[in-house]
Chain A
Amino acid sequence: MASVEKILSRRTFLRNTGGLVIGFGLADVSVLPRMIAQAVTPSGKVVTGNPVPDALTSWLHIEPSGIIRIFTGKTEIGMGVETALMQIVGEELDVALDQVVFVMGDTSKTPDQGGVGGSSSLAMGADPLRNAAAAARSLLLDMASQRLGVPVDQLEVSGGVVHVKGAPSQHVSYGELTKDVPLQGSLVVTGAGSAMSIKGRGKPKAVSSYKLVGQPVPRIDLPLKIAGKWEYVVDVRVPGMLHGRVIRPASVGANLLSIDDAPARSIRGYVKTVVINNFVGVVAENEWAAIKAMRAIKVNWSEPQQLFPEQAKIYDYMRQATPKASMEFLKVGNFEAGMQSATKKVEATYEFPFQSHGTMGPGCAVADVQPDGVTTVWCGTQKPHAMQIGIADLLKVARDKVRVIWTEDSGSYGRAGFEDAAGDAILLSRAVGKPVRVQWMRADMTRWGSKGPAVMVDMTAGLDQQGKVTAFRFTSRAFSGVETNFLPVMAGNFLGSQLAGIPNTNVRDEYAAWGHETAAYPFPNVIANGHVVAALYPNASPLRTTHLRDPEGPAATYATESFIDEMAAAAGMDPIAFRLSNLEDARTKAVIRAAAEKFGWDPRTSPKKKVANPEVVKGRGIAIGDRGGTRVATIVEVEVARKTGAVRVSRIVCAHDCGLIVNPSSLKGTIEANLIQSTSRSLMEEVMFDRNNVTSVDWLSYPVLRAANLPDKVEVVLLNHPEFPSTGAGEPSSRPMVAAICNAIFDATGARVRQGPFTPVRVKAAMASS
């Protein structure tokens, strides 16, 4: 059995090589490569600014020991992207993975790569790292050629040592080459943020020669995490740090009328109550004192400024509201004429609710705002560089006075709210002049975190005698996916700022779009358009909407892929045969066939013929998705209890094509987990609210899937396509799940559940009316 020491040994020796002050309380932190750069430096000596992307030294540094430190603006959000990026860099440099150490998401040390999101870290974010590594390799080979007196084409590299082909005793290591002459080079930069691309001298390797990319390398972080040696942002301890808690309004838009903090003042460890308009927080010397003070403070809030619509009527509200913005996604041929030539007409509306990120850790950040404005923030944000700009705007200081040190939090799955916790920490630290750690309580995330938007889609289609689609209309209505901008580049982006009176001007319209949030079937005679429904309340609303894993994708695809199933049933065709006959894309057809084969799909129409009247009926359903070029086909098997309407997903098969696979084992882990998470979203997740406020506040009022609801079997089929570039894998497999389950329920029961999630009440009602 491996000892903890052994797991940690290669990291431990790195402790003294970073040359930086280790500022955390625990010595253990030093074993974490990312944390080495995340040192607390004394005030005024904070190295801020941002490394420039056109210098090789901004991306890569070789230490005399041969350790290669890579600096990337990307961050790890739990899906193993660090390991995959290490493989890509190691491949180009011909070094072993244990010679590579990553520094991620520290605005003072890493170039701005737009953070992570949109399943783009490997699809786009790997480009600068791959090219920087290729440029470094080329420079190193030149240096080695001079040193060894042998032309470059007679050199080869392994394990970071350059040697002469056929004469391995003539060698020199990368570390030796750069001991006296640091590696320097300039790079040509095009694009910015997550679309940034760089080129240097030296071409990246041909995919066909890959040795490390494509291997099921174990994830670099997991042994440390499981050994209990990891530090998340909640574990950051800064000297002199105080603890903060926030107190939110009693209802949407309520104003603070008066506050009585006298009962808190007698709590040992109490430091200060901070009130800025409707922002209320309390600071204490330790967590328990902060919690007790938070509970002791009495705030008198006004009535809500505006009432939410009744939850039971939210989709009526969305339909009737004057759209804030509208857009045509696609117009092909003549829809009306296409409908006239149809022999069958299918029409339906699908509705999907607000959902919560409900992150496992409810949100935590540490901020140290010094009197001169020099500020350091530790936060699990997906967008550290954008947040640097937003915090500078909030504090009215220059960007280079602010340093954001990304530190891993629990899986965020979009703009969960870690940035808002950081905004709270900034306001509290500024008020007390000391570093403050803010830990959100559960309701601060579940009730007050931004939400995935509610979406509804109306669809109409015509079919001819052969079951071919003659016309198709798609109309979506959704709250914007960017009421809270995922790029926190303005002061008003943060919830705390909004409560403090700074308006949210960082808003954009984002639709549930045909062909973007759904697979793009090449139907004739199409009209596809959509509307954005205005925010229910403009500032600091607990129902403000934002990106949640695959924004609008699961909801819009629930609509289209269930509707496709309705069309197949109307055409009297097997759901897979119907899809194949209406699709052209070969890779999409390939994932469908791969999933069908693994599942053992027997072609027939849905619903399944009833043979008896059992208490539990079984059914199977398929749905597909295409997100950013990644094709997914998911088949599920469900069991529906006819008396109660309770649905259990018993089996999931997912076929997945994301182009070139960098790490099949970590990819499989991410897909498996995504399938479970999206099963949870399909079956039970729905943010509840009354006229005044969100009423989902914890894991009882916002239940998610637990051990009792697990499928018996989850199977992932990976289709590797080295001839295509890697597209993303963080989100795509969330997309088809809701529809696949809906289609399986239909197959089992003959009932079509057109509103999610599929709670027993909804399923029972659909069965009663079918």
Chain B
Amino acid sequence: MANIDLKVNGKSHTVDVDSDCPVLYVLRDNLELNNPRFGCGLAQCGACTVILDGDAVRSCVLPVSSVAGKEVTTLDGLGGGEKLHPVQQAFIDEQVFQCGYCLNGWVMSAKALLDKNPHPTDVDMEKAFRGLICRCGSHVGIYRAVRRAAGMKESV
């Protein structure tokens, strides 16, 4: 048990949790932030993705102690809370997703990818999305949205 300082979406929090507790449960249960969701708890699906210091990571296997002092961003914090991030807008414009339960992983991973690589090829996307699942099969729309966000018309 420990008091751990967290910075999430620009706000500081101190939580009293086990230091081995995965970040996912701290965000959901202590901070009531919903978008990182439980899908597998095994780093196999991406439903729990958050952005940590610029990287899309799986919060379900990340002990809370390892993020102390780092900057955590969740989906609803992407646009700073007030606005939509352009990547979110691209997904809305393309009308992507069926149930949307997976979308946290895809939108966050797309955002992290585009920050580092504004014009990703299909191979770049495949690499960035390797760890993600969409059970409904919304992939075609997802790729369209990422290309739209990157200002690309065609797959390259």
Residues of A whose CB lies within 8 Å of any CB of B are 1-5, 7, 25-26, 77-80, 218-219, 221-223, 225-232, 234-235, 237, 243, 268, 286-288, 291-292, 358-362, 364, 408-411, 439, 441-442, 665-666, 669-670, 672-680, 698-700, 704-708, 710, 712, 714
Contact B37 A708 (CB under 8 A): no
Give chain B residues whose Cβ lies under 8 Å from the Cβ of A221: 100
Give chain B residues whose Cβ lies under 8 Å from the Cβ of A675: 137
B42 contacts partner chain A, Cβ-Cβ < 8 Å:
yes
Q: How far is the CB of B74 from chain A (nearest CB, A)?
A: 7
B37 partner, pick from A77, A234, A673, A705, beta carbons under 8 A = A234
Contact A3 B21 (CB under 8 A): no
Residues of B whose CB lies within 8 Å of any CB of A are 1, 17-18, 21-22, 25, 28-29, 32, 34-35, 37-42, 44-45, 47, 74-79, 81-84, 86, 88-89, 91-92, 95-104, 107, 125-126, 129-130, 132-141, 143, 155
Q: Known: A360-B39, A439-B38. Is A676-B101 also a contact (CB below 8 A)?
A: no
Residue of B nearest to A672 (CB): B140
Q: Known: A222-B96, A228-B78. Is A409-B39 also a contact (CB below 8 A)?
A: no
Contact B133 A699 (CB under 8 A): yes
Contact B34 A26 (CB under 8 A): yes
In the assembly, what is the distance between CA of A360 and CA of B57, in Å?
18
Q: How far is the CB of A653 from chain B (nearest CB, A)?
A: 13
Q: How far is the CB of A318 from chain B (nearest CB, A)?
A: 27
Contact B84 A3 (CB under 8 A): yes
Contact A411 B101 (CB under 8 A): yes
Residue of B nearest to A673 (CB): B137
Known pairs A222-B96, A360-B135. 7 more at Cβ < 8 A? Answer: A225-B97, A234-B38, A288-B29, A360-B99, A698-B44, A707-B132, A707-B139
Contact A360 B45 (CB under 8 A): yes
Which among B1, B21, B95 has the greatest number of chain A C-beta atoms within 10 A?
Answer: B95
In the assembly, what is the distance between CA of A698 and CA of B28, in Å?
22
Q: How far is the CB of B37 from chain A (nearest CB, A)?
A: 6
Q: Known: A359-B135, A360-B134. Is A441-B41 also a contact (CB below 8 A)?
A: yes
Task: Return the 6 tightest CB-CB contacts between A and B, nearest first.
Answer: A78-B99, A676-B137, A228-B76, A410-B101, A677-B137, A228-B75
In the assembly, what is the distance between CA of A675 and CA of B139, in Å?
10
Q: How far is the CB of B149 from chain A (nearest CB, A)?
A: 12
Q: How far is the CB of A632 from chain B (nearest CB, A)?
A: 16
Q: How far is the CB of B138 from chain A (nearest CB, A)?
A: 5
In the assembly, what is the distance between CA of A712 and CA of B107, in Å?
21
Q: How far is the CB of A676 from chain B (nearest CB, A)?
A: 3
29 A-B residue pairings within 8 Å (CB atoms): A2-B84, A221-B100, A222-B97, A226-B84, A226-B92, A226-B100, A228-B75, A229-B76, A288-B22, A292-B18, A359-B135, A360-B47, A360-B102, A360-B134, A361-B101, A362-B39, A364-B38, A409-B101, A410-B101, A442-B39, A442-B44, A670-B98, A677-B136, A706-B129, A707-B129, A707-B139, A710-B126, A710-B140, A710-B143
Q: Known: A221-B100, A707-B126. Is A1-B92 also a contact (CB below 8 A)?
A: no
